[in-house]
Every structure is written in structure tokens, then in C-alpha cells.
Structure 1
Amino acid sequence: MALELESIFDEFTRRDWEREPVEGTVRLAIVGVGGFARNRAIPAIAESEYCEPTLLVTGSPDQRRLLAQTFDIGRVITYDAFLAGAHTEAYDAVYVATPNALHGRYAAAAADLGTGKHVICEKPLETTPDRVQTIIDACDDAGVTLMTAYRLQIEPAVRRTRELVSAGVIGDIVQVHAGFSHPLVAATGPDTWRFDPELAGGGALVDLGIYPLNTTRFVLGRDPTGVYATTASSTDSVSIGVDEHVTFQLEFPTDATASCTASFGAHANSWLELTGSDGLLSVRSPFGGVVPQEMVVESGEVRVEHTGPPVDEVREEFDYFGYCVLTGATPEPDGADGLIDTRVIEAAYESASTGCRVDLE
């Protein structure tokens, strides 16, 4: 078993999705230049092997010159200009990083522009399953690639976790425990769009809980059959319009269960632990934006602690997207993947409202 573990940890950061040489880059328009796009996504795209940023879309006139100078991107246009089809010759695909309720507007528009533009869109894809389906249909009709930006599916520690689970190293999965908390209320104040239910589509469940939800589905290779959830909001002087804390339990057809939490008002923390019939596997801080690559695997009487080299998971995500576009491959985190999560989130909110378990078809 130790040798089996060592073979999985060999070349820890290997890109198992990169199956053939490919040349060229995908020119990206970045639609929405909020904090994550400015601080993480655009630098990652600029360093990417298979993508390059060539156009920015922003609603702030004051930002245009500064953004163009900061990122050395020659074209910066307004949202209206983007929707009108300005400079479509300058990009091949779009990265949508607007507030959640605006994803559909720009993703569908991108697919409809000219010969169609490929789309990578932040999660959740939209705020309701019907609106997600609209994005999927637009991209299907245009024959373009659609990827939900689940960067953890491309992250090495998570991919190695899936391999270990698939290989049966810890036996049949019995329980998953995962959580993600970040003190967003204290960090941003109550005026951020993330606390607006119309723009965000929800609170801690949508913004943070989606990480343990999607990652659990990914590593198990299964979709849940039922969900039970509770939500809570702070009772202090800061009031937000969405759930601040959430706990949800997922049931799977294998009889495995997952207990997950998320919070806008707790100390920053994240964890992923899987307990199987023959062992356990844990990943340190998987959801916080920079994964330390530290894993612990116990299989029978064998215990292995492994630390892999640092990896920019955001760059990996865009390299993966560019590679899929250039090779015509379908991304694993496609539109259907994003649709399933939106359905689970909708069911979780129904459960929290009714106090009852909700079946998932």
C-alpha cells in the first residue's frame, strides 16, 4: 500500500488532463474586474501557457486607464459596448466575473456574438437552475465551450484526492466532513453585492458552501440524492440580507454522507476530510484560495504525510480552459456540473425554510 501511495504522489503536480501537445493561446476578454479578477484572475491569465488577456470590460470609467496601464491590455470597454459587439475581433473567449445574477446576461451574449465566443464563468453559473439552463442552451446552440470556474477541480491536491478515492486506498467512503469560513462581514461591511440576495442568489451557502459541495461531488464521482440544511444570520448590530452561516448534509447513493458548513462570520478556515471503511484522507486548507498541498492519508496501518510543491490553482484553471478550447475537449466542470450545484443549493434553501429533508432527482 505504501508503494501505491508513493506512485500517486509521484509528480504530484502532473497535469493528467494534458494528453497531447498543443500550440497557440486563447485570447480572453475579462468581463467584470472586481477584486478577485484584478488580484488573482488577470495575473494568472497573463502568466498562463494557453490563455492571454486581450480585453477588459468594466462599468467604471475611472478604472479604464488605470486597468489598461496596470495590466498592459490595450482595449478596455464598457458593458454596453461589449453587449453591442465592440472589438469582437480582439478575443476568442470570455471570462465572466460579474456578480452572480449578471452571469447569464454576459455569458449568453458572448455565445451569441458573431461566430460565438467560448465561455468560462465564475461559480455559481447563475442564481437559479432555469437561468443556468439559459447559459447552457446558448452555448450549446452556438457550439462553443462552456466551463464553470471550479478551479479546485484542476488543483493538484484535490485531483490526487480523487485518484486515491477511486483507487480504493481508504476503502468505501463513509463520511465526508468539509467546511469553509471567512469573516466577510467584518472585512467588507454590509454594502457588498455578496449580501444582496437579488445579485448573489444567496449568502454563505452560495459564496462559500459551493466549494465543499462541488469538491465533495468531484472527489466522490457521485451526485447527492438528498439534502438537509439549516441557515442562520448574525444577531449583532451588523445585519445582512442573506444567510451568514449554513450547515448542510448530503446523502449519496453509495450510502456515504457529507456534513458541510460555511460562514461569512467565522474565523478564516477550511478543511476536507474523508473517512472510509479502511482509512482516512485529509487535505489542509483546500478552499482558502492558496492550497498548502499538505495531505495526510491513513490506510490500514500505513500513514503517509505528503506536501507537494506550491501551485497557482487559478493559472491551472485557465490553462485547463485554454487547453480544452484549443483541443476541442469538453471541460469536466462544464455547464451540467454547474447546473447540478445550483439545483442542490436551491434544494438546501428549501430544506432550511421547511425544516425538512429534500429529495434530489
Structure 2
Amino acid sequence: MELDALTTDFTRRDWQHVTETDDPVRIAMIGVGWWTREQAMPAVAAADLCETTVLVSGDAAKAESVGADSPTVERGITYEQFHDGEASDAYDAVYVVTPNAEHLPFVETAAELGKAVLCEKPMEATVERAERMVATCDAHDVPLMVAYRMHTEPAVRRARDLIRDGYVGDPVFVHGNMTEPILELVPDADQWRLDWDLSGGCAAMDIGIYSLNTARFLLDADPTAVYGTAHSVAPEFDDVPDEHAAFQVAFPDHVTAMCTASQNAHLASHIRVTGTAGELRVEPAFYPWDERRLHVAHGESDLTIDFDGIDQMEEEFEYFAHCLLTDTEPHADGDHGLVDIRTLKGVYEASETGAAVEL
């Protein structure tokens, strides 16, 4: 097939066969920070298969105030009221977007109430707490999906199709990068990302996970070993070991991924797969406000495919709701998320010991 043909015959939502419903999935959003207000709630408001009906916050007045601007929100409740089961008849699923180390108790309560769970990545701050999350959802037979936006990003899905179709030959290397000046984007030196107890890690856990997980998605494979280095230089990062992180991930069939992440560097992101017969690169890749471009090189030809801007969060919520409405297991379930946590914790161990960590 000529490269020009790659711009055709692609369905953005190849996972979808339900496009409308009279009974949308009702979602309680747990955590009402800027991401919920500016990204998640507008995405759900634009979606066809779900709606926001409950807001849960540490501040009841804040939850009620934010909810007042939404025609679908029925209740604003506190964290304590959520754990007590209040308003549980007003939602079918929860979206957990608190700091990493606070995910578990909300997921446990949701599971006990029989509610499906969409949990932000990384799943938790430690492997043990993430494992408890999976075990609890399994015990109560409730769906658990981890919120990986790249899985429903059309440019990334197209890249995966092309890899499967052999356009790069046999994959050899993956290079991924995500960097940002976090204190410019969120100008608060006391933010939870810079608190080890709340975050479980800084650059690797918060944004290095994008390169790692997208590599897994593109290759349809899981890591076998990881080696990494991490260091912090600026005083604002004294509580975390990884202002900057770089790690090498071994995959089956002699494929290696090289991932870099920084919370104190120029804003940039890309992921590239190089194979024996070609190369694919998505750049920009990971920030939701960028319009994606897929660069394809095969033989002596190369092509850049521009993708229309889509709301990544809307795609993610629609996919989650679609899975619930069709009783389909989401691709990024709890076991999938555990692989990332174990791998990223391996980065910190390798940085301390200087040795690769088998997974």
C-alpha cells in the first residue's frame, strides 16, 4: 500500500457500536480541582453516553458552587458523605481524580457501593495500595478502568494499526519523552506532585507513565525489565527523587524503549517507534491541547498525517461509558495499570542500586 492511502480507511472510534442511549452513565466526580472543572466536566458535558450528576469534594460549598453551573449535577457532597453512601442512588460510576495516594479509599468505597470506577493514572502511590484497589474491585465484581487518554487518541490508535500492519517491519526501538515546567503550569511549590507521600514519585510517576504506557499500547506488549536514573536539582524538588528521570525498558523480542521525563524542562512530548523497515512518530504526543501529527517513514517515502483536534477526555469518558453500557471489559483494567506501577517503582529502585530490575 502506498503511504498516501494511510489517510483513508480509518475509523476514529473503531471500538464503538453504541452511539446514543436514553440512559447515560451517571458519573460522580471525586475531586473538584482544575482538571475536573476545566477538562473532565466539559468533556462529559459534550459526550453522548454519560453525564456528571454528583460532585465530591473536601469542601461542600465548593462542590455545590461548581455544580451550580452544570444542568446535570444533582448533588454536591463531601468526601465523608461519599464514604457514608450519601447520594449513591444518583450515580452509576465514579471518576477518581484526587492525589495519587488518596485514590484507594475512594475506589474501595465505590466498589463496596457497587459502582464502576474510572481512576486517574497512576493508580496509586505504591504497588501495595494499587494491588489492594484491584483486589477490592475484583471482590465486588465492579469494573475498574485506569484513565489512559492515549488509548483513545486517534493518532496513537492509527499508529498502532500501522505497526500491526507491518509498516515499520519488526519494532526495534521506542523513544518517548514528556517534559514540562510544572511550577510554571501549576505555580504552587506546595502542590501534591512535589510531595512524595501524596504522589509516590514526581517526573517518572506523573508524566513518565505516558511514554511507558503508550509504548506498551503501541507494541501490545509488557516490560520484562527496567533500568533507570533519577535526580533532583532545584530546591523545590527536595522531597522527591526525580525532578528529571530517564529509564530504559526491555520488552519481549529484543525491543527496547527509552523514556525521558522532567518536571522542570521545556514543554515537549513525542513518541517514536523505529523498526527494521520504517518509523512512526507522534509529535506532539501527550498534552491534550495539542493537535496530533503522525509522521510515517517507510522505505524511501515519508508522510505527515494531521489529525483534527479532538477532546481526549471526551473520547476517554465515552469509551468508559461504552464499556459499561455494552458490558465490555475496558482495555486498561486494573491489572493493566499494575504493570505500570511495578515498572515505575522499578525505575526508582534501579536509580538507587544502579542495577536493572527484572519485572
Global fold match (TM > 0.5) = yes
Counterpart of 2:51? 52
Alpha carbons 1:179, 1:212 under 8 Å: kept:
yes
SS in 2 for 1:346: helix
Counterpart of 2:245? 246
SS in 2 for 1:230: strand
**Structure 2 counterpart of 1:44, one-letter code:** A
1:201-258 CA distance string (max 9 Å, x none): 1111000100001000000011111111000112x45344111000000111110111
In the alignment, the residues of structure 1 paired with residue 68 and residue 238 of structure 2 have an alpha-carbon distance, to the nearest angstrom, of 36
In the alignment, the residues of structure 2 paired with residue 140 and residue 167 of structure 1 have an alpha-carbon distance, to the nearest angstrom, of 35
SS in 1 for 2:254: coil
Residues 185 and 20 from structure 1, CA distance in 2 versus in 1: closer, same or farther, beyond 3 angstroms? closer
Alpha carbons 1:284, 1:291 under 8 Å: kept:
no
**Structure 2 counterpart of 1:122, one-letter code:** E
Counterpart of 1:329? 328
In the alignment, the residues of structure 2 paired with residue 32 and residue 270 of structure 1 have an alpha-carbon distance, to the nearest angstrom, of 27
In the alignment, the residues of structure 2 paired with residue 60 and residue 103 of structure 1 have an alpha-carbon distance, to the nearest angstrom, of 17
**Structure 1 counterpart of 2:15, one-letter code:** W
1:95-150 CA distance string (max 9 Å, x none): 0001101111101110101xx00000000111122211211122112222110000
SS in 1 for 2:12: coil
Q: Which moved more, 1:85-94 or 1:292-301?
A: 292-301
SS in 1 for 2:281: strand
1:43-95 CA distance string (max 9 Å, x none): 10111111100000001244133212223423100000000000111000000
Alignment of 1:164-175 (within 5 A): 164-175=162-173
In the alignment, the residues of structure 1 paired with residue 93 and residue 262 of structure 2 have an alpha-carbon distance, to the nearest angstrom, of 33
In the alignment, the residues of structure 2 paired with residue 182 and residue 227 of structure 1 have an alpha-carbon distance, to the nearest angstrom, of 23
Deviation, structure 1 residue 304: 1.6
SS in 1 for 2:259: strand
Counterpart of 1:269? 268
In the alignment, the residues of structure 2 paired with residue 46 and residue 240 of structure 1 have an alpha-carbon distance, to the nearest angstrom, of 39
**Structure 2 counterpart of 1:157, one-letter code:** A
In the alignment, the residues of structure 2 paired with residue 96 and residue 219 of structure 1 have an alpha-carbon distance, to the nearest angstrom, of 26
Alignment of 1:270-285 (within 5 A): 270-285=269-284
SS in 2 for 1:162: helix
In the alignment, the residues of structure 2 paired with residue 86 and residue 240 of structure 1 have an alpha-carbon distance, to the nearest angstrom, of 40
SS in 2 for 1:205: helix
Counterpart of 2:17? 19
In the alignment, the residues of structure 2 paired with residue 178 and residue 323 of structure 1 have an alpha-carbon distance, to the nearest angstrom, of 29
SS in 1 for 2:318: helix
Q: Which moved more, 1:305-314 or 1:288-297?
A: 288-297
Identity %: 43
Counterpart of 2:220? 221
**Structure 2 counterpart of 1:260, one-letter code:** C
Alpha carbons 2:64, 2:77 under 8 Å: kept:
no
Residues 144 and 239 from structure 1, CA distance in 2 versus in 1: closer, same or farther, beyond 3 angstroms? closer
Q: Which moved more, 1:248-257 or 1:184-193?
A: 184-193
Alignment of 1:115-154 (within 5 A): 116-154=114-152
Superposed structure 1 runs of 4+ greater than 4 Å apart: none
In the alignment, the residues of structure 1 paired with residue 81 and residue 238 of structure 2 have an alpha-carbon distance, to the nearest angstrom, of 33
Alpha carbons 2:178, 2:286 under 8 Å: kept:
yes
Alpha carbons 2:246, 2:260 under 8 Å: kept:
yes
In the alignment, the residues of structure 2 paired with residue 160 and residue 204 of structure 1 have an alpha-carbon distance, to the nearest angstrom, of 27
Alpha carbons 1:22, 1:326 under 8 Å: kept:
no
Alpha carbons 1:27, 1:52 under 8 Å: kept:
yes
Counterpart of 2:306? 307
Unpaired stretches in structure 2, ≥5 consecutive residues: none
Unpaired stretches in structure 1, ≥5 consecutive residues: none
Residues 204 and 147 from structure 1, CA distance in 2 versus in 1: closer, same or farther, beyond 3 angstroms? same
In the alignment, the residues of structure 2 paired with residue 225 and residue 138 of structure 1 have an alpha-carbon distance, to the nearest angstrom, of 26
In the alignment, the residues of structure 2 paired with residue 184 and residue 13 of structure 1 have an alpha-carbon distance, to the nearest angstrom, of 35
SS in 1 for 2:265: coil
Counterpart of 1:85? 85
1:2 aligned onto 2:41 = no
1:203 aligned onto 2:202 = yes
**Structure 2 counterpart of 1:225, one-letter code:** T
Alpha carbons 1:272, 1:284 under 8 Å: kept:
yes
How many equivalent residue pairs? 355
Q: What is the TM-score with the length of structure 1 in the denominator?
A: 0.95
Counterpart of 2:39? 40
Counterpart of 2:154? 156
Residues 29 and 11 from structure 1, CA distance in 2 versus in 1: closer, same or farther, beyond 3 angstroms? farther
Residues 191 and 224 from structure 1, CA distance in 2 versus in 1: closer, same or farther, beyond 3 angstroms? same
Alpha carbons 1:181, 1:269 under 8 Å: kept:
yes
Alpha carbons 2:270, 2:283 under 8 Å: kept:
yes
In the alignment, the residues of structure 1 paired with residue 139 and residue 276 of structure 2 have an alpha-carbon distance, to the nearest angstrom, of 45
In the alignment, the residues of structure 2 paired with residue 169 and residue 239 of structure 1 have an alpha-carbon distance, to the nearest angstrom, of 42
